[in-house]
Structure 1
């Protein structure tokens, strides 16, 4: 490990936790809070050299079995010129307050007052549409998350809206750009509807993921 080792990581994490009081320290350089079937996070993602970090806002849906807490909808801090900006550990004390304020300003989802599940689902929808419009790889997992989160949350309007959007986007997705594990459009949509129709199974998955990732102690938004 670089000279910016465990003690530095703990100190930096504690500073960012003070900047974002609604979040809990989950691990060194990781802050999280739970919003229903989703966790919202701030990750201080080390650079390749290890002497700096990228402040990154993100979410992770608990409605699928997954080995890590992902950086879905990840947004790294941007400089005024629009490039990703890292904070050097050596300059952290002088820069983190201003950096945390700018990250909050740039984040599509509020890092102050917690966003609602509806806002999170709509942001997943917006991301999936933008990916398609820009010719980027299909947002298969983000669409799955949007549908399953809405189902687990019990939102009777967002769920059918998400399923319709999934069907519309799937018609446009190019097979060559889809994940190798993609089962085909018809089977994917049928499987998604089946999962969305089993909220008790989704809730079991959520509880299992909370246990697997040791999330029981993080702040939970009511």
Structure 2
């Protein structure tokens, strides 16, 4: 892997933060903003070779313990051909503004005006439906996140809608595509419903995740 010097990484991160000034620099090549019980991010995801990066919009739910800030709903900027577009660090100064405009235009969730929790839930559900339609792996985590962030944000009606969505979708998931540790339809729904029913516990998890990932300086939108 080619080594990119720290000064270059710092400058690249600062340039993207200047374009998307509603986000804060969390770590090198990672920008975040907090929207209640979730994070919205722009990650400059390094290529395997290390000499380029893929601008990637994503979210991360804070309503359950997780060891890293994930790239849930990850969406890399696409070129005209539809392929993910890599920006070489050596070409960054010439290419990043165009890539930033394209990412903003292509992103499912606004990178300008902060999306609402409801907006994020809509996209999580749409992703789960699309995964099923393509015959891909069931979006168990995304469905769980859609319910838990709804409850943690104080929207019990949205959480209940999410539980009904989960009940309807789980019946359609092919058993052979479910995780190896799958506990079964009824146990999963019962557990998810119990978690969603205790918003205070979920908010405590959110705050513990803020501390664990050192997010205190990330602005809330």
Sort the TM-score into its range (normalised by shorter chain): over 0.9
Supply the distance in 1 between the matched residues of 2:106 and 2:163 (Cα, whole angstroms): 29
Structure-to-structure mapping, 1:41-80, within 5 angstroms: 41-80=41-80
Supply the distance in 1 between the matched residues of 2:188 and 2:98 (Cα, whole angstroms): 44
Partner of 2:5: 5
Partner of 1:208: 208
Structure-to-structure mapping, 1:1-222, within 5 angstroms: 2-221=2-221
Q: CA deviation at 1:156?
A: 3.0
Supply the distance in 1 between the matched residues of 2:154 and 2:17 (Cα, whole angstroms): 31
What is the DSSP-based 3-state SS (H/G/I as helix, E as strand, rest coil) of the residue aligned with 1:85? coil
Runs of 4+ in 1 over 3 A off after TM superposition: none
What CA deviation, in whole Å up to 9, does each residue of 1:84-127 have, x standing for no partner? 11000000000101100100000000000100111001110111
Q: How many correspondences in the alignment?
A: 221
Residues 94 and 63 (structure 1), Cα distance of their counterparts in 2 relative to 1, 3 Å cut: same
Q: CA deviation at 1:143?
A: 0.2
Q: CA deviation at 1:2?
A: 2.8
What CA deviation, in whole Å up to 9, does each residue of 1:169-200 have, x standing for no partner? 11011121111122111000000000000111
Unaligned runs of 5+ in 1: none
What is the DSSP-based 3-state SS (H/G/I as helix, E as strand, rest coil) of the residue aligned with 2:171? helix
Unaligned runs of 5+ in 2: none
Q: CA deviation at 1:3?
A: 3.7
